Amino acid sequence: MVGRVAVVLVASALAAAVVGCSDVGETISGTRTEPSPKPKVVVTTKPAVPPVKTPVPTPARTTATTAVTLGIPAIGVAGLRVVPYNGTADDRAGTIIQDRGVAASPRGPRGGVGPGQLGNFIITGHRTAHGRPFGRLPELRNGEHILITSGGFVYDYVVTGTMTISFRKPGDLARQNAAVPGRPGEVPTRAMITLSTCATPEDHAKGNYWHDALGNPEHRIDKVGVLTGTRPV
């Protein structure tokens, strides 16, 4: 009796050893199944790539003594000197500057701002006399470039429109001198430019010979543009 019990115990131990072995599989209803291999998990981590920042040049602060030149490739203007002064467009001081054959740029509360600055950068020049630097200004079309060189930078303005103003209408003068050209009282949000010259041929063709004490005809032709880019010289 003891011998039979011992045989049963040995058989049970062998069966338990077989079932408990991890590399042998299980037997279910007489069918042996192999263990499923554990899936391999591969984790790939891409290193973070920092965004590339394009350096934007900071325009230098211009002063009354900073040299400023004007180029308008579409109408053959290159290296035209622009002289700043404290005043308003085409006043006596501005007219004296224009009579030297260069362009004038009024600054201050009644004028405009400097190159690249927020607001209206105003430049005036003669069309029919004193070298005629703005002789072809009325030909300038939308999309053409106005290049201002000053303080080691080139300011690239693009023409967006044309205004014709009357020197006999204070409201028109306000439109020309406004911080946002054509919109007196509006707060500027970008750098803009106004190039202004006389409409003498057009006025005379219509029999209009009016002029002010400084010889300015009634009407002026203004080309307005916006700053689209700045680059080092």
pTM of this prediction?
A: 0.74
Question: Is residue 61 in some structural domain?
Answer: no
- Number of domains composing the chain: 1
Q: Average of pLDDT values for 214-228?
A: 97
Question: Is residue 200 in some structural domain?
Answer: yes
Dump pLDDT digits (tens) for 120-172: 999 999 999 999 999 999 999 999 999 999 999 999 999 999 999 999 999 99
Given a contact cutoff of 8 angstroms between Cβ atoms, the answer to whether 217 and 208 are in contact is yes
Question: Is residue 174 in some structural domain?
Answer: yes
Predicted confidence at residue 214, as pLDDT, reads 93
Q: Nearest 5°: phi and psi at 116?
A: 75, -5
Predicted confidence at residue 21, as pLDDT, reads 38
Question: Is residue 40 in some structural domain?
Answer: no
Token duo for residue 188: 């500027």
Strands (E), 29-100: 31-33, 68-72, 77-86
Query: What CATH number does the domain containing 157 carry?
Result: 2.40.260.10
User: Cα dist. 129→62, 91, 103, 171, 219 in Å?
Assistant: 29, 17, 12, 27, 16
Residue 195 gets the label, from left (phi > 0), alpha (psi -120 to 50) or beta, of beta
Question: Is residue 1 in some structural domain?
Answer: no
Question: What residues have CB less than 8 Å from 97, skipping those under 6 apart?
Answer: 83, 85, 103, 104
Which DSSP string corresponds to 129-161? STT-TTTTGGG--TT-EEEEEETTEEEEEEEEE
Question: Is residue 5 in some structural domain?
Answer: no
Alpha-carbon distance of 194 to 28, in angstroms, equals: 92
Question: Is residue 62 in some structural domain?
Answer: no
Domain residue limits at 168: 68-232
Question: Is residue 13 in some structural domain?
Answer: no
Q: Average of pLDDT values for 185-200?
A: 97
